Amino acid sequence: MTQKIAIIYQTQAPPERNGIIKPMKPGGYSDSGADIAYSLQKQHIEVITPVESPRVDHDLDWVFPDSKEGIQSSIDKGADIIWLNTVLYTGHPIEEFLKMGISVVGQVPENVDLYDDKWVTNTLLKDHGLPIPKSIMISRENLENYTLDFDFPVVAKPIRGRGSQGVSLVRSQEELSSILKEMFSSNDFGEALYVEEFLAGEEVTITVMPPGNYSIDHQNIPQKNYWSLPPVRRFNHENGIAPYNGTVAVINNSKVLNDVELQSEIIIQLCKDCEEAARIVDAKAPIRIDCRADSKGKYFLFDLNMKPNMTGPSRPHRQDQDSLTALAARKIGWSFDDLILNMLNQSWKYPL
């Protein structure tokens, strides 16, 4: 049976959770959704689109809204697999269609809802013995009487963040007080914020793929367990923080580790730690974990992303739009098209 794929994008911010707000990305990932759709179409896979003849440089010609009406429209046009290129949560409209038996590419909505919370996720990973930086949750209620048990500098960030938006390196108590008050007064991130120790060493990002059957070097490779793409080093930080990829293209501040580095015991163990983290959160699609070393070279997992950015250079006007995952994939011989096709091949439906 021929697969017919539709890609959905985010049209509204997810609901608050315990007073915590996850800001919405402008455009709702319609850009990467269009990159994915164009890649699939190039590979002669039938892509269902909102318009008859989508224009290559018009993102919204390629993707459907992630509303109930948008998803239903894609199915009415013939889609039998929905690619969830959006932010998911418990109560997301896709849940109704999952219960009806639709196949999807992406995560389980309730898992994203749970693990988008950095405090919940990092506490869980730490309880499983994984290396997590020291941290504290600061709310409006304890803003005047919290106690840090780690030294400055520290990093202040949203609990349900998106990339490096709202993330700041803070060098003193006075500066922290000022930044926290500013973040709370903006109300962009809700009633609580996350502060963790700053790690002064190198930063790498690791994409972990779910178990499944993959095509690597023109061979079918069964992967029974979670497995890592080669880590990507981040550099050219701005004030200690990797800049948001909407501001600086990742190809300008990121590079895959070389063969010698990939064979180091430290990196091999870090990949194993990230694979264990993916198992713990029951990932059904790629996740991305940001890791950083302290001044002694010990790596910690500090940010687990249930929805990695998936932009790629599939369309002619977006040749500089590699994502971190696409960069990593190239190291194992995958083009962006190969990555997208292998992601499609891990589609799933209820019951899991």
Q: What pLDDT band is residue 335 in, cutting at 50, 70 and 90?
A: very high
Q: Exposed/middle/buried for 84, CB within 10 Å: 0-12, 13-18, 19+?
A: buried
Amino acid at 345: N
> In a 10 Å sphere around its CB, with 0-12 CB exposed, 13-18 middle and 19+ buried, how is residue 24 labelled?
middle
The CATH 3.30.470 portion of the chain extends over: 203-333
- What the block records as the tokens of 245 is 């990829």
Q: Which two tokens stand for residue 168?
A: 């700041």
What tokens were used for 224? 């029974």
- Please report the pLDDT score of residue 238 as a whole number: 74
pLDDT higher for 322 or 247?
322
Q: What is the mean pLDDT of residues 235-263?
A: 80
**64/349 Cα distance (integer angstroms):** 20
- Rounded CA gap, 160 and 162, in Å? 7
Q: Which residues sit opposite 5 in a β-bridge?
A: 47, 81
The model's pTM: 0.95
Helix (H) or strand (E) holding 260: helix 259-262
CA dist 325 and 207 (Å) reads 6
Please give the structure tokens belonging to residue 192.
């609580």
Q: What is the mean pLDDT of residues 115-142?
A: 96
Could you tell me which CATH class the domain 203-333 is placed in?
Answer: alpha beta
CA dist., res. 245 & res. 337, Å (int): 21
Answer whether CATH 3.30.1490.20 is correct for domain 134-197: yes
pLDDT digits (tens, 9 = 90+) for 184-195: 999 899 999 999
- Give the confidence band of 250 by pLDDT, cuts at 50, 70, 90: confident
Which pLDDT belongs to residue 163? 74
Residue 305 makes CB contacts below 8 A (sequence gap 6+) with 287, 288, 289, 290
Q: Is the pLDDT reported for residue 239 higher than 90?
A: no
Better-scored residue on pLDDT, 274 or 247: 274
Phi, psi of 161, deg, nearest 5: -90, 180
In the numeric block, which tokens belong to residue 309?
């950015």
Q: How confident is the model at residue 252 (pLDDT cuts 50, 70, 90)?
A: confident
Residues of the chain with CATH 3.30.1490.20: 134-197
- pLDDT on residue 241: 76
Phi, psi (rounded to 5 degrees) for 13 = -65, 145
pLDDT single digits (tens) 260-288: 999 999 999 999 999 999 999 999 999 99
Gap between the Cα atoms of 281 and 125, Å rounded: 9
